[in-house]
Every structure is written in structure tokens, then in C-alpha cells.
Structure 1
């Protein structure tokens, strides 16, 4: 429900600019927005709970023996002492006491790996979005969202004079033939794959291929579908 099959969205801010976006994000209706907000709140609560348990485990260990307890509120919130003060409040609260009990009952060899796996899952983006922006006379820009909230999107700009051609390749993926859009860049041995993570269906790839060539070269280079086996 939170994700859909990769689908294409086209936006034309100007006659010389077109943006193609392939995403697994569904149309945001009101019920879906409420569900996403609930999911985000749930993720934050679970993440804070895991961190609180890990912090409680740290306080129970010998590593925290030499650490002084900051239980007096500092004068300014922009300080490391204020962070220790907040952690002290959380640790002495009822959820903190429960986290301490749970941390004491769980061996570190089990607690740490499980916590890291859970945090990794919580930090994964639910949707994948990849974009191809075409600017006539300037070039094209590809962008692919990262899998995690901790990293930024991968973006690359290719000037028009470096674009030798834009092709639709085909390759076998298991027992399935997949079609994907590639950009041949001057001076590079490897082609640039557009929408590399999602690899949308052939109809989407061909639609983007025609639109990119028409916008980039003003319909000056047309012809049959260029395809190569991969």
C-alpha cells in the first residue's frame, strides 16, 4: 500500500525543459498521508527506544564507570552537558527504567547486532525515485534517490556536447528480457544507465527515449528505435 510498481511522471516547466520521474511512491491521498505520518511516528518511537536501550546498556557497563552523571540542568541548551541532562531525564523516567531492565536481561552479543539491524531497517526509505532532467542547449541530469535517509541522492550532469547518443538497450535478467535507457558519453567506455535501480517497463523506457531526443535535439535526430543487446 505504501509503494507501487514503478510509474512515470512527466513535468514540463518550459518548452525547452522536461523532467521525467520514475517512482514507486503512490498518489498521496488523505488516508495514505495519514498512514505515512503514522509510519514516521512509529519509526521515530522505535528508533528512540532502541537508542535508549543501548544507552542503558552502556550505563550498566564498565565503560560508563568513569563518566560523571549530569543531573543538573545546564544554563544553555547548546552544549554537551545539556545532551547529558536530557539523557539523564530519559534514563530516570519510566520508559528509561524499563529500558534498563531490558538491557540488563539481554547480553551485548545479542543486543548490539539486533539493534544495528533494526536501526538499519528503520533508516531505509520506503520509496525509490529516479529522475531525468533534460535542458535543451545545456544537457541532461540524472538523479537517483538513496536507499537510506543517511545518504543523499546520486546526481550527475552531462553537457549536451558530451552526449553522443541516447539508446534503448535490452538485456537478460534471469529468464526475463529487460529494456533500459542508456546515454553514450563522449570519451567514456561505459554508458550511463538512466533509472538504474527501478528499470521501468519497456513502454516507459521508449516514451522517455522519444521525449528526451525530441527535447534535446529539437526533433533533429529521429528514426527507428535504437537498441542493442546487453
Structure 2
């Protein structure tokens, strides 16, 4: 886990916790770029397989008196070998697993923005690429107390921050994923 602190203005402080290592060297940048290219290629392959499945599903069906004949070739990619050797159920399972693997994030980041006189804003990024992050603002007037707790896990001590909010039964744990 990595904690970074930013002070955008004199009255605000932004704390960000992330498991993602900083991208600073050329090797890190090349690795990140290669992973992005592999994800894009995997998504492209999934789209081609799904288009081929759609074409094969409606192959040789009469639509309004016109016969539509599909071929296993889409563009320059030959998918006929895949459709002839692997059963449809396994192809669809493979497509679903590939989409899941390409949509999941490698790390989740959480942030706490403290604005003096107004309150705190807690944000957590989504574990999936296309989902939005969750954000919650707690005004200063609703904060009853702030605690720093200790948790013993094996032989290590983990510290975490929680906020007691007026009118709520449970405390709000800040950076819950970082445990």
C-alpha cells in the first residue's frame, strides 16, 4: 500500500491510498503499455468471436425471402478453426472469462479529501474499468467523532480510521479496502 498526500489549497488535504506502484521508469511505462495493448487485443478477439457466433447463429436462415449465408471469416481473421473445434458453450465461457479478466482493475485506489469547515469526502475507485467510483461526502456538522483503531492480524498491527456520523448506526470506515 502506498499513501500519497496532496494539498491542493490551504484549507484542503487529499490523502490517497493505492496498491498500484508508481509508474516512473521506462520499464514500468513499457510494461503498463504492453498490458493495455494486450487488453485491447483480448477485447478485439472477444468482439470477433461474438460477431462470428452471431453470424453462425443466423447462417442459412431465410430473412424476408433473402438467404443470408455467413462465413467463419471476419476481416482477415479466420475463426473457422475455433468454431469447428471448440463447442459453443466453451467458447462462450471463454469469452465471458476474457471479458471479466480485461474489465477488472489491477488495483483499487481510495481517497479522503478533508475540507476545513465543510467536511470530508471519501472516494473509492471501482474494481472494474467501466464502472464509476463511489463517493460520499460527510459534512462537518454530521461528524460526531473520529477514531483511529488498531486491529491485530496475526503478529502485525493494522491501523484504520473510522468516522462516527450522526444518525447512523454503523461507523464509516475510511480506506476499508486497504486492510
Q: Please confirm whether the aligned pair reaches a TM-score higher than 0.5, indicating the same fold.
A: yes
Question: Which of 125, 137, 140 is residue 145 of structure 1 equivalent to?
Answer: 125
Residue 23 of structure 2 is aligned to residue 28 of structure 1: yes
Provide closer, same or farther for how the CA distance between residues 110 and 174 of structure 1 changes in structure 2, counting only shifts above 3 A. Answer: farther
Structure 2: gaps (5+ residues): none
Matched residues in 2 for 1:69 and 1:138: separation? 67
Q: How does 1:161-180 map to 2 (within 5 A)?
A: 161-171=141-151, 173=153, 177-180=157-160
Higher percent of residues as strand: 2
Report the TM-score, using the length of structure 1 for normalisation.
0.68
Q: CA deviation at 1:8?
A: 0.5
Question: Which of 163, 166, 174 is residue 186 of structure 1 equivalent to?
Answer: 166
Q: Tell whether the 8 Å contact from 1:58 to 1:64 is kept in structure 2 after alignment.
A: no
Q: CA deviation at 1:53?
A: 1.3
Q: CA deviation at 1:158?
A: 0.3
Matched residues in 2 for 1:177 and 1:8: separation? 17
Matched residues in 1 for 2:41 and 2:101: separation? 14
Q: Tell whether the 8 Å contact from 1:47 to 1:119 is kept in structure 2 after alignment.
A: yes
Equivalent position SS for 2:90 = helix
- Residue 8 (structure 2) aligns with: 13
Equivalent position SS for 2:107 = coil
Report the TM-score, using the length of structure 2 for normalisation.
0.86
- Residue 57 (structure 2) aligns with: 61
Q: Tell whether the 8 Å contact from 1:131 to 1:195 is kept in structure 2 after alignment.
A: yes
Residue 23 of structure 2 is aligned to residue 41 of structure 1: no
Equivalent position SS for 1:58 = helix
Provide closer, same or farther for how the CA distance between residues 66 and 44 of structure 1 changes in structure 2, counting only shifts above 3 A. Answer: farther
Question: Which of 134, 154, 158 is residue 154 of structure 1 equivalent to?
Answer: 134
Q: Bigger shift: 57-66 or 139-148? A: 57-66
Equivalences, count: 174
Matched residues in 2 for 1:41 and 1:102: separation? 23
Residue 108 of structure 2 is aligned to residue 108 of structure 1: no
Matched residues in 2 for 1:170 and 1:69: separation? 70
Q: CA deviation at 1:178?
A: 3.2
Matched residues in 1 for 2:124 and 2:5: separation? 16
Matched residues in 1 for 2:154 and 2:61: separation? 56
Matched residues in 2 for 1:59 and 1:175: separation? 58
Equivalent position SS for 1:14 = coil
